[in-house]
Amino acid sequence: MGSRGGESWPDTIAAFRSGPTAFLLSHGANDTFVAELLRDLRSERLTEQLKVSLLMLLLDYPTLLCRDVKAGQEAAASLLSLFTQLGPGSKHASLRRHLLFATGTVLVATDAFGPSCQASGDYLALLRQLASDLNDGRGGAAEWPVRAAACECLRELATIHRLVLLPSPGDLRELKLVVSALLEGSYLLSPAAQSHLLWHLAQVVSMVRTQSPAIFKAQLVRLFGTADAALQHALLQLKALFTDSLFTSEDEAFLLRRLVALAQHPALPTPVTLFHLDCLLHFPENRPLGSGTEEGLPVLLTPGATSGLFPALFQDPATALARLNVMCLVCVESEGPMAEQGAGYLLEHVLALGGPVARGGGPEAVRLFFQAAFLFARSFGAREPPMAQLTQCVLDLYRQNGALAPNVINLLDESWGAAEESRWSRSLARGLQALIVGSPLTPGRLGGHLKVLARLAKEKDLPRLEASAVYATPDGLTRCSRLEPVEVTFSDLFMPLPVPAWPSEKRQGLFGALWHRLDPGAEEKCAESLTVLLWHRLDPGTVEKCAESLTVLPVAPEDLGAMIRSHFARYVVAEQGGSYEIGMVLPPGCHILLRVRSVDDVARVGIRTDNWKLLPSLNNYLQGLAESR
């Protein structure tokens, strides 16, 4: 097989991919084709993109092109030589990446990778050099893609050959000496630098199976006594990584007591206090009961051990809410009189936060109360006695101040999503319904009431309207029967316009007058007495809500008449030459006018209404009719 030029290789690649086996059989031995492929990879006549396409053949068909171990070793050696010849730089970054992928694929697919293969050793050494070269061979940012490809190749090799990246005994001894030296001098660094160093050393030790985490034992004594947040965080990182292989149960109990003490220390600033409270919520236990992905407390925390963490009224809002969250979890997960007493104290604290709101407190007091109410409801939502008091408190506040409607709606949203198993959300919703329905309506509070009722209407488990029928039987008995729910669709609300039995011409003129009256852009509205009569004494202010829209339905001309007769026969005001003029009334006093006619293969529907809020429902209804045909 002769040498190919840059113009013939694309056709050869296409022919090979269309039938690899047939191609090799028709062109002789496959080793000749592979030798030509490897030779032309070094040619300067081929573009880099074409060379990448050639390498893709080795990536997609390694065992077909290299049928034995020897062929795989020779191909890998040739590819490594070409990689070395290219050198670092951004000019050949894409080609060098594909060379790394192709070399590894050929070695692994042909079972050539092993200690007896020189190309395997060279390939592994090259990958380690590229992955560990933080200066990227003086290539700068241009070498980052090549370095990333080397790391990916190492990851795949470690997955297939698990022992290939294990360090030698000499490397292990050197690693232990380096880690010990860094730990001994770490106390000279700043707390932030110490935390950073400890985390990286812990990751190194965790990846080496033969290295024991006990090398950090000497550091625990110093870390247990520190009050610095960075070092506390480093200590918890070590515990999360090594658990009981480094920390005993006594160490765990001592660390918990230490965190509780620091969380209530008066000399620490608020951010540090919040950090320690958050550490309690995400404490890495030696034997965790849960998955650890959500907030949860260790089993060693009891109401007695955390008695100093109960919130107080004069604490800043962030600290009070964080303490409330922790103590709610402590009390709800514990049993006994101390837990019951703690739950009662927490309820009194939340109710006390409603006092400033009732006295006209500012936004900060309102926000604090509703956040505290949500935290308490999230933990104790299944307990009826305390939640009844909280419900009454919320209802009293809303009765007193209707401006709290957005806060009440937000509380309902959050509690419905977080306390799905409790009945408190539904109880609060029913209480709000009864309060709003039984209260006298005032213009200033009507808007807030409607917003709350609109939110309550979204929940399916809340009652809307219960209807029953009472009737007497012929034998003199009186019976009561509850009616089944009746589904009311949008089209069930349609009523025909009260149009007189006029000839077609007059009906068309009448519809034109009605159409002009609902024109949102018209400066003068039609004032015919009959039009006003048909609009049932339409309020002049309603005209401002007029809207016009246009929609297109995929209905053929021959099907349009059948659709009109099936769904709009009662509402057709006038009809002429395949064009339909339709008018409808919707309670309590809304009107819809439609002009329907065929244009090409679709139906064009012009819409005018005196209530723009009907347009989305009407459009959905019309589209549903078209899709059902």
pLDDT of 538 reads 47
3-class SS of residue 598? strand
Cα–Cα distances (Å) from 285 to 237, 239, 336, 435, in that order, read 12, 8, 24, 47
Cis amide linkage into residue 588, ω under 30° from 0: yes
As separate numbers, helices (DSSP H) first and strands (DSSP E) second, the chain gives 26, 8
Mean pLDDT of 20-37: 80
- Beta-bridge partners for 516: none
Sign for the CA dihedral angle at 202, 203, 209, 211 comes to negative
Provide the pLDDT confidence category of residue 6 given band limits of 50, 70 and 90: low
47 by DSSP, 3-state: which?
A: coil
**Beta-ladder partners of 552:** 604
- Torsion (CA) 313, 318, 319, 320 in degrees, nearest 10: 30
Q: For residue 86, what are the contacts with CB-CB under 8 A and spacing of at least 6?
A: 92, 95, 96, 99
Domain 495-628 architecture: 2-Layer Sandwich (3.30)
C-alpha to C-alpha distance for 235 and 599, rounded to whole angstroms: 75
Confidence of residue 367 (pLDDT cuts 50, 70, 90): very high
Mean pLDDT, range 65-78, rounded to an integer: 89
In sequence order, what are the beta bridge partners of 598? Answer: 603
Lowest mean pLDDT among 366-370, 406-410, 471-475: 471-475
Distances (CA, A) of 105 to 55, 60, 94: 11, 9, 17
CB 508 within 8 A of CB 581: yes
Q: Where does the pLDDT of residue 531 fall: very low under 50, low under 70, confident under 90, or very high at 90 and above?
A: very low
What pLDDT, on the 0 to 100 scale, is given for residue 321? 93
What pLDDT does residue 293 have?
A: 55
Instruction: Report the DSSP beta bridge partners of residue 592.
Output: 584, 609
Please state the rounded mean pLDDT for residues 554-558: 88
Domain-by-domain residue ranges, the chain?
Answer: 9-165, 495-628
**Alpha helices (runs of H) in 110-163, residue ranges in sequence order:** 118-132, 144-160
Q: What pLDDT shows up at residue 3?
A: 55
According to the model, what pLDDT value does residue 292 have?
Answer: 53
The structure tokens listed for 429 are: 């919703």
Q: At what angle do helices 443-456 and 405-418 cross, to 10 degrees?
A: 10
CB 95 within 8 A of CB 86: yes
Percent of the chain at pLDDT exceeding 70: 89
DSSP H/E element including 233: helix 229-242
CB 136 within 8 A of CB 88: yes
Residue in the block written with tokens 């003068």: 524
Task: Record the tokens describing residue 268, joined without a space.
Answer: 């620490």
Here the tokens at position 60 are 């997609």
Greater model confidence, 421 or 366:
366
Burial (CB count within 10 angstroms: exposed 0-12, middle 13-18, buried 19+), residue 247? buried
Give Cα 60 distance to the centre of its chain. Answer: 36
Sign of the four-CA dihedral 66, 72, 77, 79 = positive
| Spatial contact of 499 and 534, defined as CB atoms under 8 Å apart | yes
Tell me, what DSSP letter sits at residue 355? H
Read off the pLDDT of residues 369-385 as tens digits, 9 standing for 90 and up: 999 999 998 888 878 88
Q: How confident is the model at residue 336 (pLDDT cuts 50, 70, 90)?
A: confident
Would you call 506 helix, strand, or coil by DSSP?
helix
Cβ(618)–Cβ(592) below 8 Å? yes
Within 13 A of 362's CA, how many CA atoms are on the CB side? 1
The rounded distance, in Å, linking the Cα atoms of 221 and 200 is: 20
Most confident residue range from 274-288, 343-357, 532-546: 343-357
Tell me the pTM: 0.56
Give SS3 for 316: coil
pLDDT score at 91: 77
Helix (H) / strand (E) element for 550: namely strand 547-553
Q: How confident is the model at residue 479 (pLDDT cuts 50, 70, 90)?
A: confident
Q: What is the pLDDT of residues 155-211, one digit of tens each?
A: 888 888 876 777 777 777 888 888 889 998 988 899 999 999 999 999 888 877 778
Residue 244: partners with Cβ closer than 8 Å, 6 or more residues away: 286, 287
What residues does 574 pair with on adjacent strands?
581
* 152 CB neighbour count, 10 Å cutoff: 16
**Residue-averaged pLDDT of the chain:** 84
What is the enclosing helix (H) or strand (E) of 20? helix 20-26
- Assess contact for 462 and 433: CB atoms under 8 A: yes
How many angstroms separate the CA atoms of 142 and 120, rounded?
26
Kindly give, in sequence order, each residue whose CB lies less than 8 Å from that of residue 247, ignoring residues fewer than 6 positions away: 220, 238, 239, 255, 286
More confident residue, 193 or 424: 193
DSSP 4: P
The pair of structure tokens assigned to 381 is 């939502």
Q: Kindly state the helix (H) or strand (E) to which residue 470 belongs, with its residue range.
A: strand 468-472
Most confident residue range from 133-137, 326-330, 474-478: 326-330
SS3 per residue for 87-115: CCCCCCHHHHHHHHHHHHHHHHHCCCCCC
